[in-house]
Structure 1
Amino acid sequence: MSGTAAGQQLWAVDLRGERPARRLTADTGDSRFYQTQYDLVVAEGRVHWVAAGPDDDTEVRSVALTGGAVRTRTVEGSWALTGWPWMVDGLADVSGAGRLRNQVTGEERAMPATRLSETACSPLWCRAVSLDEDGYPKIEVVRTDGNDRRLVARETARTVISDVAVLGRFEVFARVTAASELSGRDELLIYDIETNRTVRISPEATDVWYRNGVLWWSTGNAESFLRHALDLRTV
């Protein structure tokens, strides 16, 4: 996706360099991106995304990888795409995700609720961020069927990426420490659902991102910094 003076355009690039980049469409609508790996989903020979629709509804849009006319359907609610073929509703709600819907079969699932929490969900896991009895942040993960709730972290923990339980296994978060209060950089950690343990990735990190199995972050300062990457698919 690229922005121009005329608006946003969707392009495809051949990473092997055998063909030049080509524009798929400029008919993107009022597109909505939530800084997740599912903002653009490639599936069934098409690129899928969402846009703001009329009356606070959502337009689910797609275009063929070869370009052409855009298919658009409007659904009631505030939806975002997640792991294909699912999408998740409730982005405009204070409590966050409320249900999943399968775009192919139409199946819907109500998401598990946590009292006074903000919830984000993938097809497998939900992340609930709430306050504990002492008023400190608490991060939990729970399967979308409501089972297997896990405490990930509490006290000074905070989320740093939008994606939930990446690869169905790793919940990425940060923790404010005494050192990070001085440096402005937080401790970067991963909770491994499979082994039920937490691993420190970096004692200080900023500008944390995740896409397609790879986590990356920066250390140092604005004048001298290093960029790091970790391929979680190899763990």
Structure 2
Amino acid sequence: MIPRDCTPLGLALAVLAAVAVVILPAPAPAVRAPAVPSVTDVWPGARITAHTVTGPPYTPLAYLDSETSAGVARASDSIRLTLGDRVLREVPLPGSPRFVLAVSPEALVWLELSDITGTGALWRAGPRGENPVLVTADTGRVVLQDSQYDLVVHEDQAGWVAVRGDATEVRTVALSGGPVNRTPLPGDFALTAWPFATSAAVEQAGPSELVDLRDGRVARVGGQNVELVDCTPSWCRVQVLRQSGTARFDLMKPDGSERRRVGGKGIRPAFGDVVVLDRYAVVVDDDRGVLALYDTATGRMADLAAEFGTVLARGPYVWWSEGENEALTWRSLDLRTLEASA
């Protein structure tokens, strides 16, 4: 009912308000982000193998096949480097060495390093851990980047990087033993896919470099002063920075081509390597709390695990832990099964 003392102007405004209430559209429904498929949704042939740890806590350092890994087991009185049931090295506590492992068809090779000094020794054994022998104790202070390229095996040689003053030394030695060769590089570098080294300055934004160790040629990879750029010869990872962290996660070729956005501020690398098998980037999506896989060939993202702890990759394998020491399971994915089922 309209009040009697309402003026014509008031009457008009009241009518307009009533009409407005009737014709205003309802609030638009919230737009949900599209669901991210799982790895097995995208690649039905993906082979993920579970390995439950029984006995001392165990961390795989390399997979020889889907069922066999070499890794470190910590007992109450020692640390053991093992391959299946074979003990390759055993170091009594309180010594706490760090092992870095590389696998080739001809040999299993590892660095045994002091947690305190970063120095140690290089060992090799047969492809199934037979007859371990010391190759050299001339390792220098080794640079580790949480990468499968911390130790590389190529042409019957092993290669790694050591710090010498303000410079970097790329060190190589024949697996049969002998003198250690040193190639000095000014600045901070780490090995990537052989025969390249890449800039390794921690949290230093701006351009990056790739050095061809065969002839010393340097390729400069462009990057803005708000970008962290990490490169291999095949792909570079670009993390665009902002005051509170990373704003965007991109991948591109070293010449700047094929740049694409992988994700926003919630995406970060799962480990040091840019890509695995020159194709797959393994990332953590902190917004959703999942481990995910990005395929550079198709531009698709797929969830790998909703529960994970340690994440590692060597060769064609990616593996991650689930649970704690009392109920620890390692799950490994052979990335070649993705390519086979594409």
Instruction: Please give the range of the TM-score, normalised by the shorter of the 2 chains.
Output: 0.7 to 0.9
Q: Which amino acid aligns with 1:78?
A: D
Q: Percent identity?
A: 34
Task: Note the C-alpha offset of 1:97.
Answer: 6.2
1:225 aligns with 2:328: yes
Query: Secondary structure at the residue paired with 2:173?
Result: strand
Q: How does 1:1-235 map onto structure 2 within 5 Å?
A: 1-3=111-113, 7-17=119-129, 19-54=130-165, 56-92=166-202, 94-95=204-205, 98-131=208-241, 137-177=247-287, 186-235=289-338
Task: Note the C-alpha offset of 1:132.
Answer: 6.5
Over 3 Å counting, the alpha-carbon distance change for 1:161 and 1:96 in structure 2 is farther
* Conservation of the 8 A alpha-carbon contact between 1:187 and 1:200: yes
Query: Secondary structure at the residue paired with 1:34?
Result: coil
Which whole-Å CA distance do the structure 1 matches of 2:253 and 2:303 have between them? 24
* Conservation of the 8 A alpha-carbon contact between 1:121 and 1:127: yes
Q: Which amino acid aligns with 2:314?
A: R
Which whole-Å CA distance do the structure 2 matches of 1:89 and 1:218 have between them? 30
Q: Which amino acid aligns with 2:132?
A: A
TM-score by length of 2: 0.61
Task: Note the C-alpha offset of 1:60.
Answer: 1.3
Q: Which amino acid aligns with 2:262?
A: V
Over 3 Å counting, the alpha-carbon distance change for 1:71 and 1:136 in structure 2 is closer
Query: Secondary structure at the residue paired with 1:234?
Result: helix
Q: Which amino acid aligns with 1:15?
A: P
4+ aligned runs moved over 6 Å, structure 1: 132-135
Task: Note the C-alpha offset of 1:105.
Answer: 2.6
Q: Which runs of 5+ in 2 are unaligned?
A: 1-110
Query: Secondary structure at the residue paired with 1:84?
Result: coil
Over 3 Å counting, the alpha-carbon distance change for 1:114 and 1:149 in structure 2 is farther
Q: In the comparison of the two structures, how many residue pairs are matched?
A: 226
Which whole-Å CA distance do the structure 1 matches of 2:150 and 2:246 have between them? 31
Over 3 Å counting, the alpha-carbon distance change for 1:96 and 1:31 in structure 2 is farther
TM-score by length of 1: 0.88
Task: Note the C-alpha offset of 1:135.
Answer: 6.8
Which whole-Å CA distance do the structure 1 matches of 2:201 and 2:241 have between them? 20
Which whole-Å CA distance do the structure 2 matches of 1:134 and 1:48 have between them? 37
Q: Which runs of 5+ in 1 are unaligned?
A: 179-185
Structure of higher CA gyration radius = 2
* Higher relative strand content: 1
